[in-house]
Structure formats: structure tokens, C-alpha cells
Amino acid sequence: MKYSLRVATVAGIDINLHASFVLVLGLGAWPWLMWGARGALFGAGMSLLIFACIALHELGHSLVAKAFGIPVTDITLTPIGGVAILKDRPKTPTQELLIAIAGPAVNVVLAAIFWGTAVVLGHEAYDAAKLTLLREPPRAEHIWVLLIPANLALAAFNMLPALPMDGGRVLRATLSYVFAPEQATRIAAVVARVVAVGFIALYAFVPNTTPMLPFIAVVVFFGAGAEVREAKVNRVLSLIRAGDVVTPYAPRFEPGTTLGQAMQTLMVSPLPVFAVELGGRLVGVARREDLLQAAMTKGAWGFVSSVLVRDVPTVDPFDTLDDARSKMQRADVRAAAVMRGGVFLGLVTELELAQAMEVAERLKATQTRDSLGREVR
């Protein structure tokens, strides 16, 4: 179930408005209501313009990510800001740095453009004193008066060094030139938590600060923790090879396997994705949830072929699980086929990743030397 509406598609990236976005129009109109319907319309229009700037900010991240070959699914705008969904993480500190900085850079450029047009049009829009404009009825000039500081504030706020915000990512990327990725993330997370506590203190001790501050503090505090866990997963998975987790004993289907037979297998196997073979050759995979759904609608005499997904990423047995996970995230199906010389050895699914994590975390030996014999940072 999706609670969002697509409003535009740019460079193959859908821009969606979350249903809760109607709040933004109301909140935007509210302070202008004293000027009647015209004021309310102006306020709602202004909040739309500011969110258009936020969409461009997210598009900045997305286009740089795409330039590095990272697929971007969509951008969703919610009342608390925008999110661009990247299907993979940046592969180098430089990639992360440039993707993170691209968003705030868009807002700086927008502020410069609005400032330039204000000068050309003869508005004294860049005069900060004009911010007292709420005492006047809305005029066209107010668009500039509001959009210039709004974009500068967006850039400055996002550049605060608080992971998972943009500035935190810039900090982590910069630290990654010196430290191992996990160590860099840990340091950046400590800084983020200090900033989060600072937000709370600011809200508690400085009058008239926005109630958004403690809310953002909570998001940053737990977001930083999630980044640390993610960095740890990436390190541990980079120590294990895909060949280490595939098993010839995993149940497999044929396209002609009936859904009834498949249901019997589902009762004894926890796998989220099953390989589908024909004559010893991999033809695709079948997802657990698709099989269950098909069994419900088609009954026991339907076939596995009706839910076959042919597009499966492949990995070599010597590739790391970290690489396999990257490919799984980019693909629509959360599985990778381990192939050697055209021979299908088995699937890597979320279950194999979770099992490998569980074991590797307990094996101190794999933390100092990986299975390929390289020293680990």
C-alpha cells in the first residue's frame, strides 16, 4: 500500500508527494490567514515553492548518484522534508562526499539565482530586515524575500555534521580517507549524537525555537545508530565469500512444479527465494510471497512458472557477500545466483546473509583475517 502520489518524473526518477503533504499546505497558509483568502493562498503557494526547492535538493543527490551508476528508485516529499531512495550505497569516500554535498549545493545555487533575479527586477529582496514582512499583506516581492533565506537555511541545516544528514555523510566520507569505513562511521555517529543532544538543549533553554528540533534530534540519534550497524554488517559481509554460503541441499523447483508441491516445500524450508531449474540449468527464481499469493489465487494445480522471475543477478563464488548484497539491492529480486563457469551452484538470499552474519560475528578469527587471506583493516 502506497500513500503517495506521483507528481513528476525526472531522468527516470519518480517524484512522489506523501499523503501527509496536505499538512504542509495548511501549515504554510496558517501564518498568512490574517490577510484573508489571498493570504492563505499565498502561504500555501510559498510552502509549495519551498518544497519544490527541497525536491531539487533531493534531485541533486539523485543525479550525482546516478552518474556513479547507483540506481535511484524515487524521491518522496513528506512534511518533514524529502527522501531520495538509492538502491545501493556509494562505493568510495569520494562518491559519498559528492553525492552528499550535491543536495545543499543545489540550494546554494538556487539562493544565488533568486538573489540575482531580485537584483535584476529591482527588489530589495536580499535585505534581511524584510523578514518582518508578515506585518504586511502578501506581495510578489515576498516570494524572493522568503526563498533566498529558505534555501540558505536548507543548505546550512543539512550541512550540520549529524549523520544521517548530508553534513554527517560529508564528515564520514572525509574520515574514510584516513580510517576504515566502520571506524569512520563510529566517529561520525558520536559527533551526530553530540549535535542531537545540542538540538535538545537548544530547544530546552532557548525560547521560541521550533518543536521540530527535539523531533530531528531523535531521528538523528537513532539514524546514527542505524548507520553504525549498517557499517558493521558491510564489514562482516566483506569477509565472507559467496561460495562459502551456497549449499547444494537447498530445495529447488522446476517451472512445471505444481504450487501444491511448492507449498509442501515452503512448510519445511524458511528460504525467502527459491531457484527454478530446468534440465540442470537455472531459468529464474520464485519468491516465497509470490508462491503463497499464487497458491491462494490459482490453487494447488497452478505452476511455479506463473511466478517465475527471470532477471537474477549473478556472482562468482569468490565474490564477497558484501558484493552479492549490493547486487541483490539493485535487482528487483532479493537473491543472487552463484555461478562458476556457467554452472549454477546455489542462491544467496537474505537468509544466507543473516546466517553468515550470525556466525561471523562470533568468529573472532574472521575479524582479523578474511577468507581470501587478506589482512583486514
Contacts with Zn ion, residue ranges (CB under 5 A)? 103, 158, 166
Task: Report the residue number, 96 or 166, with the smaller CB distance to Zn ion.
Answer: 166
Task: Report the residue number, 58 or 319, with the smaller CB distance to Zn ion.
Answer: 58
Work out how close the CB of 40 gets to Zn ion at its nearest, in angstroms, rounded to a whole number.
30
Residue number of the CB atom closest to Zn ion? 103
**Of 260, 250, 242, 321, residue with least CA distance to 282:** 250
Work out how close the CB of 84 gets to Zn ion at its nearest, in angstroms, rounded to a whole number.
8
Task: Report the residue number, 219 or 286, with the smaller CB distance to Zn ion.
Answer: 219
Q: Residue 357 — φ and ψ, nearest 5°?
A: -60, -45
Work out how close the CB of 75 gets to Zn ion at its nearest, in angstroms, rounded to a whole number.
11
Work out how close the CB of 102 gets to Zn ion at its nearest, in angstroms, rounded to a whole number.
8
Half-sphere exposure of 286 (CA within 13 A, CB side): 29
Task: Report the residue number, 103 or 161, with the smaller CB distance to Zn ion.
Answer: 103
CB 76 within 8 Å of CB 26: no
| Range list of β-strands (E), the chain | 4-10, 13-18, 72-78, 81-86, 252-253, 273-278, 281-287, 314-315, 335-340, 343-349
Work out how close the CB of 112 gets to Zn ion at its nearest, in angstroms, rounded to a whole number.
18
Could you give the CA distance from residue 271 to residue 260 in angstroms, rounded to a whole number?
17
Task: Report the residue number, 185 or 349, with the smaller CB distance to Zn ion.
Answer: 185
Work out how close the CB of 61 gets to Zn ion at its nearest, in angstroms, rounded to a whole number.
5
Could you give the CA distance from residue 321 to residue 348 in angstroms, rounded to a whole number?
8
CB 305 within 8 Å of CB 292: no
Task: Report the residue number, 166 or 319, with the smaller CB distance to Zn ion.
Answer: 166
Cβ count near 175 (within 10 Å): 19
